[in-house]
Structure 1
Amino acid sequence: MSQKSRELRFAAALVEFTDTLIGDFDTARHLSRLADSSVEFLGARGAGVTLLEGNGLPGPVVHGARQSGSVRELLEREQKSGPVRDSLESGRAARAVHLASREAVALWPEFTSAARRFGIASAYAVPLRRHETLLGALSVYAPRPPSAECGLAIAQSLADATTVGLLNHRAYAQYRQLSGQLREALASRVRIEQAKGMLAERWGTTPDGAFDTLRQYARRNQRPLDQVARAVVHRALTDAQLHPDRSGPA
């Protein structure tokens, strides 16, 4: 792949990770693509994403679709001790460390031992973070010791784009939920006004008087006011049921 082609593919990947304003968005599939793209652009042996749960603890690891079983096992181990654990706790990137070094052995003895058995020479992690909001961390495993250009900046760019996409989708989902609630509230108001008008005309009373009757019936029978109004509009309640002291047509 030429350098220009690689740059174009990287730019397209950044756009893809921010494009989340769709109804059938799937978080796990989105993060799996992030792991696969990290492997592709960083020449890594494997990559995975750990999201934080609502209680602040690490959740299940999301790995790429083509990750080996050994990489999956290592990603699970890293939640207890490893670069991704450090990144989740600090909210900052955990720089690449040569896993044969004394530093790595001292920091993460169990993780380092397992990683070296699986042919991983270095590992690092970057946070999925936007301002003060930390969503998780991306972990990357490289087959070679870290160099001056370990790919940390590229990994962080992918993670940043993904974070923006996830937060945008969260806001979009909240907006859709709120929009639905507002539509239902408006429809409920319309039904109540319609029921008031029907009863006021039928009983020769004021809309306020009809509303008082609706509200009293709802309270006596412990039913939502909108449900009672709907029943009135569909003529599922008789005048005798609504107002036992009033006689009139059903």
Structure 2
Amino acid sequence: MVDAGRDLRLAAALVALADSLGETFEVSAYLGRFADDCVTLLGADAAGLLLVGADAEVSLVTSADPTGRVRGLLEIQHQGGPCLDACASGEAVPPVRFAGTEAAERWPRLTERALRERMTVTCAVPLRRGETVIGALNLFANGRPEHVRIQLELAQLLADAAAIGLAQRRIHDDCRALTTQLQSALSSRVRIEQAKGLLAERWGVKVDAAFTALRAHARRARRPIDAIAQELLEGRLDDGALEADRPSG
């Protein structure tokens, strides 16, 4: 029987993951909501995310975690855990029971902490965009192992959707930064051209001579030529101050 309510929640989660281009977008809020959705949709009791930035800086985000236990389970994984394994391999880490020998052998410190926090099962999937892995989603359950049914395939699809959302946000931010730089460069060029024309008209010289004076004055003052041009246009710098840099002849 189709669970219409669950399908709607899944659709809403996917729409939220696609919505990463808004003016008020904030990465930690985006991932926090994603972690909460994973708990709701995947049958987990807690979820955490490890995100690796372009500068190799690691960020941790969890689902609702009033006591900090999930964050603790993520932080201890610098000594080993499914998050690191998923990031390193780019592949999912299937559910592992903390009470079994496998977990104790692979991640002894994490296993000890998880059992103390009454977590029984964990798994992880990478956040990946193509061949690029930018982090991992770690799921925890505290029910009896036979009752835990974490859907790893769906977890991977959601993680891939989150990675795509983050990647398109990064592209968006890079494009905005480039546009701002280009606009600034264009505005600067326009100001310099206007200042050249102003000096050329006042002095009765060619614009090349006016530009030479602007550039020489900027170098002597050790200031950007754009700043000199701006002050000249606004009347905060008298053209007489540039006379010493005016080409002869």
So what's the TM-score if we normalise by structure 2?
Answer: 0.90
Counterpart contact for 1:32–1:62, Cα < 8 Å: yes
> What is aligned with 1:243?
243
SS at match of 1:236: coil
Q: Deviations over 1:115-167 (max 9, x none)?
A: 12322221001111111222111100023427895311111111111111111
TM alignment of 1:118-133, pairs within 5 A: 118-133=117-132
Counterpart contact for 1:97–1:146, Cα < 8 Å: no
> What is aligned with 1:63?
62
> What is aligned with 2:103?
104
Return the alpha-carbon distance in structure 2 between the equivalents of residues 48 and 163 of structure 1: 15
TM alignment of 1:101-250, pairs within 5 A: 101-143=100-142, 144-145=144-145, 150-244=150-244
The worse-fitting range, judged by mean Cα deviation, of 4-13 and 147-156 is 147-156
How far off its partner does 1:113 sit? 2.3
How far off its partner does 1:200 sit? 0.9
Counterpart contact for 2:50–2:59, Cα < 8 Å: yes
- Stretches of structure 2 lacking an aligned partner (at least 5 in a row): none
Q: 1:10 to 1:68 in 2, by over 3 A?
A: farther
Q: 1:201 to 1:69 in 2, by over 3 A?
A: closer
Q: 1:51 to 1:98 in 2, by over 3 A?
A: same
Q: Which amino acid aligns with 2:94?
A: R
| Aligned-residue RMSD, C-alpha | 2.0
Counterpart contact for 2:44–2:150, Cα < 8 Å: no
The worse-fitting range, judged by mean Cα deviation, of 112-121 and 131-140 is 112-121
Return the alpha-carbon distance in structure 1 between the equivalents of residues 147 and 221 of structure 2: 74
> What is aligned with 2:78?
79
Q: Which amino acid aligns with 1:116?
A: L
How far off its partner does 1:103 sit? 1.5
Return the alpha-carbon distance in structure 1 between the equivalents of residues 154 and 147 of structure 2: 14
Q: 1:48 to 1:146 in 2, by over 3 A?
A: farther
Q: 1:210 to 1:245 in 2, by over 3 A?
A: closer
Query: Across the two proteins, how many residue pairs are aligned to each other?
Result: 244
Counterpart contact for 2:82–2:123, Cα < 8 Å: yes
Counterpart contact for 1:81–1:111, Cα < 8 Å: yes
SS at match of 2:88: helix
So what's the TM-score if we normalise by structure 1?
Answer: 0.90
Counterpart contact for 2:32–2:63, Cα < 8 Å: yes
How far off its partner does 1:35 sit? 1.1
Counterpart contact for 2:232–2:239, Cα < 8 Å: no
Percent sequence identity over matched residues? Answer: 44
Counterpart contact for 1:192–1:229, Cα < 8 Å: yes
How far off its partner does 1:53 sit? 3.8
Return the alpha-carbon distance in structure 1 between the equivalents of residues 91 and 245 of structure 2: 72
Counterpart contact for 2:213–2:245, Cα < 8 Å: no
Return the alpha-carbon distance in structure 2 between the equivalents of residues 65 and 150 of structure 1: 18
Q: Which amino acid aligns with 1:211?
A: F
Return the alpha-carbon distance in structure 1 between the equivalents of residues 87 and 32 of structure 2: 19
Q: Which amino acid aligns with 2:179?
A: S
Counterpart contact for 2:35–2:63, Cα < 8 Å: yes
How far off its partner does 1:72 sit? 2.7
How far off its partner does 1:114 sit? 2.1
Return the alpha-carbon distance in structure 1 between the equivalents of residues 245 and 171 of structure 2: 51
Q: 1:55 to 1:208 in 2, by over 3 A?
A: closer
